[in-house]
Structure 1
């Protein structure tokens, strides 16, 4: 259920935010269970952790190569896809092996109407399929691992 909640939520929630949402569907769930499940999903490579200012950790079910934009006014996080990082890599010293790239654009949304478009762009394929399934009143298909397809 937590995996599904993550895919239905484009906000990159914290564990506490996910716990709040999960409690509505499963009143007996504990915060400890949420943290343990998120740790397991992270260890399996099913989610990414996003470390934010102030020590907050957000959870992202989109494991494709992407970066983030953080609205400082609302705390909302949006996925950003960058096609070409060659210019940045060219600045690295020879012999430096890149293991991970994480870019966070921090700023403010100045055109609220653009938020809907930003959310549409940031939906993972699973989020898009889940949204389509909801709009046709069908449940998303399940894989053998229990994730939505």
Structure 2
């Protein structure tokens, strides 16, 4: 479960009604919403919230490291509130649904030193692709 709202409170981030609604929309497991999806859900809770406010709030949360931007296969960016727990993504190549996964092992240590080409590697992004059980085979 995302703890985004609690993290923002601890940070002392000014939680206006609009910012709070955006954070609430992003709460939950396996949340990977597009900006438009965030806006649609936010409007259902707070009809006067503007698209610009949603986009500005998302941009600010990404810049603060409170949201991850997930881009897959040229689709719209998605926003992941699970920014403080290491994880990878499982992507359905048909419908685009995304799930957070936490496989065992350390993908950083799986890269042989001879394959770093002198880079100091600081992070790894892994996306597993397949067909979800909701999509016909």
TM-score, normalised via structure 2 length: 0.72
CA distance in 2, matches of 1:10, 1:32: 25
Residues 60-101 of structure 1 show CA distances to partners (whole Å, capped at 9, x for unaligned) of: 000111110111222110011133222235453353111331
How far residue 5 of structure 1 moved from its aligned partner, in angstroms, is: 1.1
| Aligned residues of 1:11 and 1:76 also touching (Cα < 8 A) | no
Over 3 Å counting, the alpha-carbon distance change for 1:12 and 1:44 in structure 2 is same
Gap regions ≥5 residues in structure 2: 1-20
Over 3 Å counting, the alpha-carbon distance change for 1:87 and 1:100 in structure 2 is closer
Runs (4+) of structure 1 moved beyond 3 Å? none
Partner of 2:46: 26
Decide which of 97, 121, 135 is 1:76's aligned counterpart: 97
| Aligned residues of 1:70 and 1:76 also touching (Cα < 8 A) | yes
Partner of 1:35: 55
TM-score, normalised via structure 1 length: 0.67
Of residues 18-27 and 98-107 in structure 1, the stretch that sits farther from structure 2 once superposed is 98-107
**Is 2:82 the counterpart of 1:59?**
no
Over 3 Å counting, the alpha-carbon distance change for 1:91 and 1:65 in structure 2 is farther
Question: How many residues matched?
Answer: 111
How far residue 43 of structure 1 moved from its aligned partner, in angstroms, is: 1.2
Partner of 1:8: 28
RMSD: 1.8
Gap regions ≥5 residues in structure 1: 113-149
| Aligned residues of 2:31 and 2:81 also touching (Cα < 8 A) | no
